[in-house]
């Protein structure tokens, strides 16, 4: 068993964190009415981020679950009983963010086109998904013996497959821009400042998850162990420096953020330890009857991703 690492599973960093001056609450009314070029870019980018960070909308996972559990019933391969289909609540909300961002200036070619195609795919998938959701939720398949489900299933599968591709392409664009902004802002900030520590946390958080890609794919750290360890150590240094800087003006520091950082670091260092002591390898060699429902490596990978997303959420909401 392995965990795929689609970009959709990892939250993106809001531009307000990456361009603090453009998100200053102390802007004048004139500035609010006529935002600067930097502010306009931040506002647009954050609309795309809002669409990207709706992580409940993992359409690849939804499609895979449908094909595994529901499609066989309509194909006559299993009993048509207690079927389930995810309500497409997020589709409309994501499309609203995408369409709003697309209408805003300045142009962002790296996101505007993938965002437009993602919006179009959502527009095609939402009606048939809504139809299937209502049909299955009402258990109408028991009344018509699955006739309507079989009728709309080809359109559902086709639209969902297009949506999965469009979502993945959009997230590739988000990830590329996210990383470019983070690197630029980290290099721009002055060492020893609060901003440098803050951007350092973001930068090394991303670097560490990149190095852990093999764990997330079920293959282990491989030759990335040293890079993962170094990125974790650098992230730790930046988180500690950030808390110290906050304490200069607020004696309570930033315990909530530091707690989430510690959770991420703890899981990451457990992964290193279990890699070095061979625990993952031993688990994989166990006879199937002695293996857990989820291997330790799978559990650790899930925890790492969750703690990563918790950390990004804390950074995005600026808890300190």
9 CB-near residues (< 8 Å, 6+ apart)? 55, 58, 305, 309
Looking at the fold, whether 122 and 217 belong to one and the same domain comes out as no
pLDDT value of residue 116: 98
176 with 197, same domain? no
Q: Which residue, of 181, 209, 230, is where some domain finishes?
A: 181
166, 61: one domain: yes
Q: Which of 181, 199, 230 is the last residue of a domain?
A: 181
- Is residue 228 a part of any domain in this protein? yes
Residue 169 and residue 203 in one domain = no
Q: Do residue 150 and residue 212 come from a single domain?
A: no
258 and 285 in a single domain? The answer is yes
Is 257 within a domain?
A: yes
Task: Give every CB contact of residue 201 below 8 A, 6+ residues apart in sequence.
Answer: 235, 238, 239, 242, 261, 311, 315
Q: What is the full DSSP assignment across the chain?
A: ------GGGSPPPPHHHH-GGGG-TT--HHHHHS--HHHHHHHHHHHHHHHHT-TT--HHHHHHHIIIIIHHHHTTSS---S------HHHHHHHHHHHHHHHSSSP-HHHHHHHHHHHHHHHHHHHHHHHHHHHHHTTTHHHHTTHHHHHHHHHHHHHHHHHHHHHHHHHHHHHHHHHHHHHHHHHHSPTTSHHHHHHHHHHHHHHHHHHTHHHHTTS--GGGHHHHHHHHHHHHHHHHHHHHHHHTT-TTTTHHHHHHHHHHHHHHHHHHHHHHTTHHHHHHHS-GGGS-SS-HHHHHHHHHHHHHHHHHHHHHTT--
How many separate domains does the chain show? 2
Query: What is the largest distance, in Å, between two alpha-carbon atoms of the chain?
Result: 69
Residue 45 placed within a domain: yes
Return the number of other C-beta atoms located less than 10 Å from residue 77's C-beta. 8
Please indicate, yes or no, whether residues 174 and 292 belong to a single structural domain of this protein. Answer: no
CATH number for position 200 = 1.20.120
- Residue 173 CA to residue 189 CA, distance in Å, equals 25
**Would 3 be classed as within a structural domain?**
no
CB-count burial class (<10 Å; 0-12, 13-18, 19+) for 206: buried
The answer on 105 and 26 residing in a single domain is yes
The verdict on residue 2 lying in a domain is no
pLDDT in tens, the chain (320 residues): 223 334 444 566 665 555 433 344 444 444 445 568 888 988 999 899 899 888 667 899 899 999 999 999 999 999 999 999 999 999 999 999 999 999 999 999 999 999 999 999 999 999 999 999 999 999 999 999 999 999 999 999 999 999 999 999 999 998 888 888 888 889 999 999 999 999 999 999 999 999 999 998 889 999 999 999 999 999 999 999 999 999 999 888 888 999 999 999 999 999 999 999 999 988 877 776 555 567 899 999 999 999 998 998 888 877 67
Examine residue 286 and state whether it is found in any structural domain, yes or no.
yes
Confidence (pLDDT) at 319: 64
213 and 166 within one domain: no
Helix axes of 255-276 and 225-247: crossing angle, nearest 10 degrees: 160
Q: Write down which residue in 146, 181, 216 finishes a domain.
A: 181
Domain carrying residue 42: 11-181
- Whole-angstrom Cα distance, residue 234 to residue 196? 13
Residue 3 confidence (pLDDT) = 34
């Amino acid at each position: 068993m392995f965990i795929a690492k689609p970009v959709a599973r990892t939250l993106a960093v809001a531009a307000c964190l990456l361009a603090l001056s453009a998100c200053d609450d102390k802007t004048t009314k004139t500035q609010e009415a006529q935002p600067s070029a930097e502010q306009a870019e931040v506002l647009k980018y954050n609309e795309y981020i809002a669409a990207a960070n709706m992580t409940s909308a993992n359409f690849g996972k939804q499609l895979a679950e449908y094909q595994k559990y529901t499609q066989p019933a309509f194909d006559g391969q299993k009993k048509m009983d207690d079927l389930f289909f995810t309500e497409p609540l997020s589709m409309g909300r994501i499309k609203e963010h995408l369409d709003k961002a697309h209408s805003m200036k300045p142009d962002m070619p790296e996101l505007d086109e993938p965002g437009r195609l993602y919006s179009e795919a959502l527009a095609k998938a939402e009606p048939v998904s809504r139809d299937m959701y209502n049909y299955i939720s009402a258990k109408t398949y028991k009344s018509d013996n699955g006739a309507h489900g079989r009728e709309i299933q080809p359109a559902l599968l086709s639209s969902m497959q297009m949506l999965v591709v469009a979502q993945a392409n959009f997230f590739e664009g988000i990830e590329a821009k996210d990383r470019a902004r983070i690197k630029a802002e980290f290099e721009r900030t002055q060492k020893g400042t609060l901003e440098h520590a803050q951007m350092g946390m973001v930068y090394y958080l991303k670097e560490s998850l990149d190095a852990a890609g093999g764990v997330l794919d079920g293959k282990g750290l491989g030759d990335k162990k040293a890079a993962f360890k170094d990125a974790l150590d650098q992230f730790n240094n930046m988180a500690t420096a950030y808390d110290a800087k906050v304490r200069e003006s607020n004696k309570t520091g930033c315990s909530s953020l530091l707690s989430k950082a510690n959770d991420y670091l703890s899981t990451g260092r457990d992964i290193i330890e279990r890699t070095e002591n061979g625990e993952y390898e031993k688990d994989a060699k166990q006879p199937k009857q002695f293996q857990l429902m989820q291997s330790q490596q799978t559990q650790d990978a899930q925890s790492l991703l969750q703690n990563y997303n918790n950390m990004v959420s804390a950074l995005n909401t600026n808890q300190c």
